[in-house]
Amino acid sequence: MEENHKKQLKAASNLPPAKRQELKTELDSEAWEWLDSIREIEDTELVSRAAKMDVYIDEIPLPPPAYEGDSPRHYETGSFGNRYLHDETRSSLLAKTRERLPAYRKERREVVELYIKVATLAITGVTGLLGAATGLVALIKK
């Protein structure tokens, strides 16, 4: 995107200074809007990933309000209408998920091991039944 904006500004070098400045302002605004959108997506993914790890945003203390008279909240609304996490909430949530990560991985590993044990037992049981059935058929044919 940066390269595209540089190319557009370079191509507009023959425009009058006022028009070039207007184009630069428009491109800067577009870049900020794009960055806000990316941050909103990243924050949504962070909250979702944290919830999967049993770390919830409600467990994090509310940051102080940005302006006097505002109520404290975890989310901010950007100038383009994007909703993203307050910086303090974001850093707290990241810290809690990093802290919880080793225990979460251990739990996931234990769940996978349990599935493997169940599958092994099921396969062993089916093999045993097939062996018994084969023996029974052999006895009946005699």
Q: pLDDT tens track of the chain, all 142 residues?
A: 777 777 877 777 787 888 888 888 888 888 888 888 899 999 999 999 999 999 999 888 888 877 777 777 888 887 788 888 888 999 999 999 999 999 999 999 999 999 999 999 999 999 999 999 999 999 898 7
Is residue 13 domain-resident? yes
Is residue 107 domain-resident? no
Q: What is the DSSP letter of 63?
A: P
**Total domain count, the chain:** 1
SS3 category, 77: strand
Whole-number pLDDT of residue 102? 95
CA dihedral of residues 64, 67, 73, 78 (deg, nearest 10): -130
Is residue 6 domain-resident? yes
SS3 category, 71: coil
First to last CA, the chain: 81
Is residue 50 domain-resident? yes
Whole-angstrom CA distances from 93 to 28, 102, 125 are: 30, 15, 46
Whole-number pLDDT of residue 41? 93
Is residue 128 domain-resident? no
Gyration radius from the chain CA atoms: 29
Is residue 19 domain-resident? yes
The whole-angstrom separation of Cα 110 and Cα 120 is 15
